[in-house]
Amino acid sequence: MIRLLHLSDVHLGARYDDFGAQADMRRQEVLDAFRGLTQVAEAAEVDAVLIAGDLFDSPTPSDYTLAVVRQTLRRLVDAGRPVFVIPGNNDAITCNPQLYADQLGGAYIFRDPVFRTPVSVETAGGPLHVYGLAYDWARPEPLGTYRRADAPGAHVVLVHACTSGMPNWRWYPNVLRLPAGWLNSVEADYVALGDSHWYRPPETFEDDRSRACYPGSFAAVDLSETGPRGWVIASIEQGARPEVVPGACRARPVFDVGEFDVRGSDSEEALAVALVSNVPAGAVPTVMLVGEPTFPLQPEVLQAKLEQRFGCAKVVDRTRYAASSRLDTLTAQDTIAGHVIRLGRSRIDETPAGEDEAAPEIAERALRLALRTLRVDG
């Protein structure tokens, strides 16, 4: 049996715009987590390391980032764990300057836009043969160039590509599309995939013959990438479906609180207190607010409070303050507040569905701000 550490979509040097003022900190913590792969590989006693594309977020990483990567890969190689790397879409061989023109810490880099004869190494688990493809959008149908070598041992294919059903299959022009027929019929013991940022083990593919796996992104690149992130340890035996076990990167995960009903809280501070208990320590929260608040809620105020506690956070507001029963009472009054509420509700209701989806949200926000200005407490 051969054990492989498989990761992809590390995106070192990414902008991390969603992390706001902590973007620089996020870049460093992801880089530190990558540096820790030497300990991960040692603890799991892996025979080799596979990096299935987008190791870097762009073809121009900083010199510091490059130095850390070279040092980390060199330590893995010197420990007897060969490293195999393919470029992805963000750090492609077609980019100028070409990031992978030079050596990278002793790792083997596949630079050809077609499959060649495999790189073969002897490992403690037996012979390992790795086939890699550096996708070039100008090269038609590169998948047909794969030929399994007539050699004993484990045969592993390394590809950065999207499968049918992924969003970028349809919308992104610069991707390698991987038909299910090829993926299910390819003669390999393991297909190490990159491109999708979501974990997908072999048993989730459509065909029982599939030997493919997406490890997902190494660490959340933005606040939409919720849940654990990291790598997989794949155990390979000829003739059997690979066994994969996911491992969690030590960079902070993004935790999705889900829908949170605001009823019962009378201020953004009370909401923040209620939310804190729902977020694991060391995580970055995202939350969708629902329900009818009893006060003119300002989601940006709540987000600022969560950012003070967690460093960064994302708040999506789907509440309906305008529908609050408390406002029904105020609407009936012959006051400035009553007039403002009646006007605001009419603006929210008068936009026909489908014409301007943002208009009701803007009118709702305007109503809240107006009532805050009038010091209406709900």
129 is written with which tokens? 């043969």
Cα separation, 371 vs 331, in Å, equals: 12
Q: What is the dihedral of CA 347, 335, 378, 297, to 10 degrees?
A: 40
List Cα–Cα distances, 177 to 79, 167, 340, in angstroms: 35, 11, 54
- pTM of the shown model: 0.87
Q: 35-48: per-residue pLDDT in tens?
A: 999 999 999 999 99
Contact 125, 157 (CB under 8 A): no
Q: 127-167: per-residue pLDDT in tens?
A: 999 999 998 888 878 999 999 999 999 999 999 999 877 77
| Helix/strand number for the chain, H first, E second | 10, 16
Long-range contacts for 75-81 (Cβ within 8 Å, ≥24 apart)?
A: 75/38, 75/105, 76/37, 76/38, 76/41, 76/49, 76/105, 77/105, 77/106, 77/107, 78/106, 79/38, 79/41, 79/42, 80/124, 81/5, 81/41, 81/46, 81/47, 81/48, 81/49
Sheet bearing 108-109, strands edge to edge: 108-109, 83-86, 48-52, 2-7, 230-236, 243-248
Amino acid, res. 198: W
CA 121 to chain centre: 32
Q: Radius of gyration over alpha carbons of the chain, in Å?
A: 26
Cα separation, 195 vs 175, in Å, equals: 9
Q: Which fold has domain 2-248?
A: Purple Acid Phosphatase; chain A, domain 2 (3.60.21)
Contact 220, 254 (CB under 8 A): yes
* pLDDT one digit per residue (tens) for the chain, 378 residues: 999 999 999 999 999 999 999 999 999 999 999 999 999 999 999 999 999 999 999 999 999 999 999 999 999 999 999 999 999 989 988 887 788 888 899 999 999 999 999 999 999 999 999 999 998 888 878 999 999 999 999 999 999 999 877 777 677 777 888 888 888 889 999 999 999 999 999 999 877 678 999 999 999 999 999 999 999 999 998 878 899 999 999 999 999 999 999 988 889 999 999 999 999 999 999 999 999 888 888 899 999 999 999 999 999 998 887 666 667 666 767 787 777 777 777 777 776 555 566 667 777 777 777 777 766 665
Element (H, E) at 194: strand 190-194
Looking at the chain, which residues constitute the CATH 3.60.21.10 domain(s)?
2-248
Contact 279, 287 (CB under 8 A): no
